[in-house]
Chain A
Amino acid sequence: MSDVRFPDDDMPAGAVVDGEAVTRAVDDAFDFVVVGSGAAGASAAYVLAEAGFSVGIVEEGPWLKTRDITEDVHTAFSKYTRESGMQVLRGRSFVPMIQGRCVGGSTLINSAIAWRIPEDVVDDWGARFGLGDSINMRELDPHFDALERDLSVRPVADDALGENNAMFLAMANKRGISASRMRRYDRGCKGSGMCLSACPTAAKQGMSVTYVPWALARHGARIFTSARVERVEIRGHRAVAVVAKSASGHPIVLRARRGVFVAASTVQTPNLLRRSGVRSPALGKHFQAHPGLAVGGMFKRSIEMSFGATQGAESIHYRKSERFKLETISFPPDIAAARIPGAGPELVERLARLGHVASWAAQIRARAEGTVGEGWSGADRVKYTLGEDDIRATRKAVALLARMMFDAGAQEVWPGIFGVPSVLRSVDQVKLVDEGPLDPRAYAFIATHLFGAARMGVDPRTSVVDADFRVHGVDDLWVVDSSVFPTNLGVNPQHSIMAMSRLAAARVAERAKGLRAA
């Protein structure tokens, strides 16, 4: 074990400034300052640094090193997710929302799924938001290609598939539903089933083991960790600096000679822009998500979710027609225990048979829109309530998954819908799901894919950034995370977020190089 070196082990001296250890005020200057080191921030930082510009990255959370990763979800969530993993969307119901708050952001705790943005979504953005000339597949494809080379995108390999995923594929196939192995960032996945509490072997290619260390080690970028950005300083309609505070309480001022990229995430970016003085009627509006709901099933035979890709199989068969995507998701015991019905002997009896449990999920391309604002304590606040048509889509998806599980021989299925028996024991009972309540409070949703709230468009009255990612009315300030997406996608967004961010950074770098040459 001692000879194993991970990409996040060795950084050049001075490349990482740990905000926990800062003992005095910091004042530094870069060509570009990037706020956030998740999928969007890391991609932009890498492109800018590779183009020869000096880059400073500011990250609110700490750097979780691969060798410190444990299987314990509590430790991971309490240290490396926002609000200890207890953040929620508020509306008629409370929907848990997990966001990474560490170097690499949510790429540390997601399942590394790589989906190119669907063409129908891009066409819709062109038709409804006037973005066709700027955001199209011709522009995006080279960036997807580059990402797939850099991060080793490939379908789940046989030796990391596992039964939970294999059974999903077989059952979808049996019902004539098109399904496939997921394409993921994968450089040697061992199927440890630990994607949700971070990859113990760095195989997942999260940003903390790829673009961030590459930007630092190869291209001289610098990262300030555990430093919360308070505002972007805008002088005379131009972004000139980022003002942050270290976890140790000291001010960090990073001056930006050429501009600032904001990639703080859909929830944090709108509030950061507000604190920075950006006034836009569209700011904080049009928040969208992909609420997800998992269905569990108990089998007599072994499933062993603890082995195999956490998420390794999926179907977009109903993405357009019914607005849901089906996928597998293996839960570790820490999370599964909360989702398994019952308390006391009934609960622990099921927990003891977790090796026989399969878990599949539906991801809804919800039409509902919410708002992002600040709460009484200055905390980020998202208001969001799913509509009836979104619940109808959820019901259909859950019923289909339940039927697939019974097809596979499940002894019992747990639909996770209040008002429907928590344990279904035969396929005949699935009709109760078909007729389930239309109240969002009845469904055990979780939200992981977030979009909008600083959306892109040509009209400053209805959008926050223009088609080149620039905040309307402010020079040298770009937003590159999924807050600019005019709509949700219906597929997992990390890949699209990175491609969009790369596109933005490449355009800015190109222009800046031109100016430098001139």
Chain B
Amino acid sequence: MLLPRLFSFELAWAEAAYVAIYPDPPRNPLSRGIRAMKPARFYDELIAGVPTEQALGLRVSLWIVALAPLFVLRRLCTIAALSEAERVTVLERLLASSVYAVRQLTLGFKAMGALRYAQDHALRAEMTTPRLAPAPEDSGPVLKEPEGAVHLRVLDRAKLMASSSGQTRAANEVGPDHAAAEGASDV
């Protein structure tokens, strides 16, 4: 990687932008925002680990986000100097920009933050677990749950592997030499 690591002011920009995109409670119904996950450090490491061309794209996207107040709000400051609500406004404007490169690079910036934010196992579980009991009036068309369906609300790897151990052992044993008879009834 030819580019230098992020400077401290760039880290501050990234931090400010990510905290606005994935805010802390109470502006976030999830138990926490991205701040505690050190998103700027993550972004820095990401840039350091990807090919030069991609690193350049990520760096440019950070600068676009950072300097956006100049051309979005006509204010002589960076994103870090704005209030959180203003930062969100700026970011939403960038994501909806009529300039393709601007909205794509901002989307890329947002997506990289998502990679960090969703790394947290407990938070993933919070996101994927339904929040409300189904309302009878909104049950939609009749969609019967398949009989025997198992809801894995939180992926418990140990349980998953344990429950699959029988089949996995079978998978070890069943290969092309043994599969013909088994497969015949499946296909």
- Given A1-B162, A304-B153, A337-B111: A214 in contact with B30 (beta carbons within 8 A): no
Query: By the criterion CB–CB under 8 Å, are B152 and A188 in contact?
Result: no
- Provide the residues of chain A in CB contact with B91, threshold 8 Å: 343-344
- In the assembled complex, the Cα of A355 lies from the Cα of B153 at a distance in Å of 9
Chain A residue nearest to B57 (CB atoms) is A86
Quick one: CB contact mask for A261-283 with B, threshold 8 Å, 1 for yes?
A: 00000000000000000000000
- Provide the residues of chain A in CB contact with B36, threshold 8 Å: none
Q: Which of A195-232 contact B (CB under 8 A)?
A: 200-203, 205, 209-210, 214, 218
A377 CB within 8 Å of chain B: yes
Chain B residue nearest to A183 (CB atoms) is B187
A84 CB within 8 Å of chain B: yes
- In the assembled complex, the Cα of A487 lies from the Cα of B145 at a distance in Å of 39
A23 CB within 8 Å of chain B: no
A-B contact pairs, 30 of them (CB 8 A): A4-B162, A4-B164, A5-B172, A6-B168, A7-B171, A7-B172, A71-B157, A149-B179, A152-B179, A153-B183, A159-B148, A187-B167, A188-B168, A203-B168, A214-B175, A302-B132, A304-B128, A304-B129, A332-B124, A333-B123, A333-B128, A338-B107, A343-B88, A344-B27, A344-B84, A348-B33, A351-B30, A353-B130, A356-B130, A356-B132
Chain B residue nearest to A74 (CB atoms) is B115
Of the 9-residue stretches A117-125, A161-169, A506-514, which lies at the interface with chain B?
A161-169
Q: Which of A141-184 contact B (CB under 8 A)?
A: 146, 148-150, 152-154, 158-159, 161-163, 166-167, 170-171, 174
Query: By the criterion CB–CB under 8 Å, are A377 and B53 in contact?
Result: yes
Query: By the criterion CB–CB under 8 Å, are B51 and A334 in contact?
Result: no
- Provide the residues of chain A in CB contact with B165, threshold 8 Å: 1, 3-4
How far apart are A88's CB and chain B's nearest CB, in angstroms? Answer: 9
- In the assembled complex, the Cα of A407 lies from the Cα of B57 at a distance in Å of 40
Query: By the criterion CB–CB under 8 Å, are B114 and A333 in contact?
Result: yes
Query: By the criterion CB–CB under 8 Å, are A192 and B152 in contact?
Result: yes
- In the assembled complex, the Cα of A408 lies from the Cα of B141 at a distance in Å of 6
Chain B residue nearest to A174 (CB atoms) is B141
- Provide the residues of chain B in CB contact with A418, threshold 8 Å: 96, 103
A354 CB within 8 Å of chain B: yes
- Provide the residues of chain A in CB contact with B163, threshold 8 Å: 190
